[in-house]
Structure 1
Amino acid sequence: MLKAAIILLLLATIASLFSGLFFLVKDEGRSSRLVNALTVRVTLTALTVGLIAWGFYSGQLIPQVTW
């Protein structure tokens, strides 16, 4: 369940990235929609990092590195 939430947040972050690009090209920086898209993207990224940290802390996510 935690992995699905992380993937969903990452997809929403990518969607926000492209919406910000669209607003940048369409509005040419004259409206606040670009700033709103950036705010949403930063919030989604913070939530994603928080979920990953919580997953490692709680033991639901484990690193599987070979070195």
Structure 2
Amino acid sequence: MLKVAIALMLLATIVSLFSGLFFLVKDEGHSTRLVKALTVRVSLAAITLILVTWGFYSGQLVSHAPW
């Protein structure tokens, strides 16, 4: 369940990134919609980082790296 939540948060972050790009091109930077879209993107990325950290701390996510 945690992996699905992380994947959805990453997908939402990408959607927010492209919506910010769309507002940048369409409004030519003269609107607050770009700032709001990028604020949402940063918030989603922070929540994703918190979910990943919690997953490692709780043992739901495990690293299989050889080092």
Unaligned runs of 5+ in 1: none
Question: Number of aligned pairs?
Answer: 67
Equivalent residue for 2:7? 7
Code of the residue aligned with 1:49 in structure 2: it is L
SS in 2 for 1:55: helix
- How big is the shift at 1:64? 0.6
5 Å matches for 1:1-67? 1-67=1-67
Distance in 1 (alpha carbons) for counterparts of 2:17 and 2:63: 28
CA RMSD of aligned residues (A): 0.5
CA distance in 2, matches of 1:13, 1:64: 26
TM-score (norm. length: structure 2): 0.98
TM-score (norm 1): 0.98
Tell me which stretches of 4 or more aligned residues in structure 1 moved more than 3 Å.
Answer: none
Q: CA deviation at 1:21?
A: 0.2
